Amino acid sequence: MAVSLRFLLILPLLTGSESVKTITKVSVRVGASVSIPCFYDLKYQNHVKYLCKGRNWRYCSYEVRTDSPRETGTYSISDDKIQRIFTVTIKHLRAGTHYYWCIVEINNGGDDGELFQLSVTEDTPTLWVADQNVTGFIDDNINITFNYATSGGIKWCKLGRTCVTEATGEIDGTAVTITKAINNVFNVTMIGLKQENSGWYYCANGDFQMPVYLTVTVRPTAATATIVATTTVTGGRENARTLPGGSRPFPALMSLAIPLSVLIFIVIAALSILFVQRRTKHVTVKDPTASKNEGDLTYAEVFFKQNKAAQAASEAEVPGKKQSERRSEGKDEDVTYSAIIHHKQNV
């Protein structure tokens, strides 16, 4: 909407919107983060949503929108068009009272929204839960524990739907019980969860509310649990819990790394042994006569050779020596074997 048209919405927003609904007052500790769900009518499914800061509608400042970067250093926004809820997350909260608007942008008209308040304290919050994101399994029960510091009635509601205000009741056909555990602590139990129970809820005590997102899924089998455990050990760290709409790393691929490495090592070792065996056999066949000894050989003809200079000197020193005697004095390296005959030994 144009800024000049904001004044048209002051009265409707202060009296409450029928098309946009959210919690009204949340207590949070300094430095913490909080997620606030904003329910909207079906007719706004494809509209731009945004968060505006400031108690006065006319002077509030845009913080984050769904049609621009959806995350900044302090704010983030997401839109679940199936459940018709957009969620804003505010981080690094400072002490004090802060006012915000959940707003749907209306083309060619005044925007529609709802005001909520954050009470940020350095002390223990007035109404708080350990984790805003909880997970349950189909057909199982889930128990959510809340801490509170003020008197007043307690109720458990699904955002945009019905509320349980007594000790027992039901939401979307699922039984709900509210029990007081000890002083300043009470439990909300949902019995026999169904897939359609997933979504945003809030607990209310007096003037304060605390929103909680419930994810209902199929209970993992033993094999799936083993894969997840293996992935956790291999990766060296535990997978962090994700917010609604988030995703986790794929564990199945990582779980195959170790058995695949062992298989590759076995194949390489087998191929190496086979190669060595074939190489040894090849060398043995290549030189079959290497093992024969000289005792199996007969030299058919033997000639002695001597260079002419040495022969002349020898003849000069011993003129009367016979030719046959001189031949017998030749060295092994002066012998030429003209033929070699192999004799097979008799066994």
Give a three-class secondary structure readout of 17-36. Answer: CCCEEECCEEEEECCCCEEE
Helix (H) or strand (E) holding 228: helix 222-235
Pairing of strands 49-53, 112-121: unpaired
Q: How far apart are CA 318 and CA 325, in angstroms?
A: 11
Q: Considering the chain, what is the average pLDDT of its residues? A: 76
Token pair of 231 as six digits:
């992935």
In a 3-state reduction of DSSP, which class is residue 37? strand
Provide the CA 219 distance to its chain's centre, in angstroms: 19
Look at residue 6 and tell me whether its pLDDT is greater than 50. no
Q: Give the model confidence (pLDDT) of 269-292 as tens digits.
A: 888 788 777 765 554 444 444 444
* Residue of higher predicted confidence among 310 and 142: 142
Look at residue 259 and tell me whether its pLDDT is greater than 50. yes
- Region 16-20 average pLDDT: 74
Provide the CA 134 distance to its chain's centre, in angstroms: 19
Return the closest-CA partner of residue 49 out of 59, 58, 36: 36
Supply the pLDDT for residue 2. Answer: 40
- Tell me the pLDDT band of 300, cut-offs 50, 70 and 90: very low
**This prediction's pTM:** 0.61
**Could you give the residue ranges of the DSSP H alpha helices within the chain?**
10-15, 222-235, 251-255, 257-286, 308-317, 323-328
Q: How far apart are CA 79 and CA 299, in angstroms?
A: 102
Share of residues in the chain with pLDDT > 90 (%): 50
Supply the pLDDT for residue 121. Answer: 95
- Region 13-31 average pLDDT: 81
* Residue of higher predicted confidence among 239 and 276: 276
Q: How far apart are CA 113 and CA 87, in angstroms?
A: 13
Contact residues for 294 (Cβ-Cβ < 8 A; gap 6+): none
The type of residue at 78 is: S
Q: Give the model confidence (pLDDT) of 29-60 as tens digits.
A: 999 999 999 999 999 999 999 999 999 888 99
**Cβ atoms within 10 Å, residue 310:** 10
